Amino acid sequence: MINPGTLEITSGTPQVRSVFFNTRQPIQTFMVSFRLQAVSLNPISTPQGVCLINQNNAAGAGAVGLGNGGLGFAGMQNARALAIYAVDTTRVAWGVAPGTTTGAAQLASNRPLDVTMNYVGTQLSVTIDDPALPGVEYIGQFEVGSLSTQLGNSQAFIGFSASTGTATNLGGATFHISDIAYSAVPAPGAVALGAACLIAARRRRDSM
């Protein structure tokens, strides 16, 4: 760790890495945010970048995918991921689908990006803010279906992966991840019911 809150998931030479929280988390509805910073990045033709992964792979928290542009995620069975990576430009993708150019939020050396991802129902929304470009943000909306069904469980391992080039196509980016916050948002029904009942009780008490 660069400090107790900053993970250096890659550190230069072509690498393939993953990091997973040891306890599975609910994935029916959730919100996750983190800061991604490329400390050194020289774009090459091989994708270099980071994935935020939800997975129920047989390897559990020890799962790691392929390098060579696979971002440490490609080939990982029973997994879904948000990929943020650089090739000619910065791209954002869900799963293994080809990415779309963000335009607004670019991975670049020493330019932190603040990523927020919300999953509600079957919809995934992603916002990426670049503090250097206030008022300009990437907003992506993905129809991803039921993660619980796709991953075979209402809970999954949460973590990150990254890769940085190949032995012959040297990228060697250093990626830092910090300020991660994952919250399994409670089902709206439970909180709404509780709140409605409390309000009803207070009104009845006040009317007595």
Residue ranges in contact with other proteins by CB under 8 A: 1-2, 4-23, 25-26, 60-64, 66-67, 158-159, 177-184, 186-187, 190-195, 197-198, 200-201, 204-205, 207-208
| Closer residue to other proteins, CB minimum distance, 41 or 63 | 63
Residue 185's closest CA among 16, 30, 6? 30
| Closer residue to other proteins, CB minimum distance, 71 or 102 | 71
| Closer residue to other proteins, CB minimum distance, 139 or 195 | 195
CB of 148 to other proteins, least distance (A): 15
| Three-state secondary structure call for residue 194 | helix
Q: In sequence order, what are the residues at sequence separation of 6 or more whose Cβ sits closer than 8 angstroms to the Cβ of residue 156?
A: 24, 25, 27, 54, 55, 56, 147
| Closer residue to other proteins, CB minimum distance, 64 or 106 | 64
Residue 93 C-alpha from the chain's centroid: 10
CB of 147 to other proteins, least distance (A): 16
* Separation between Cα atoms, residue 107 and residue 38, nearest integer Å: 7
Residue 69 C-alpha from the chain's centroid: 17
CB of 19 to other proteins, least distance (A): 5
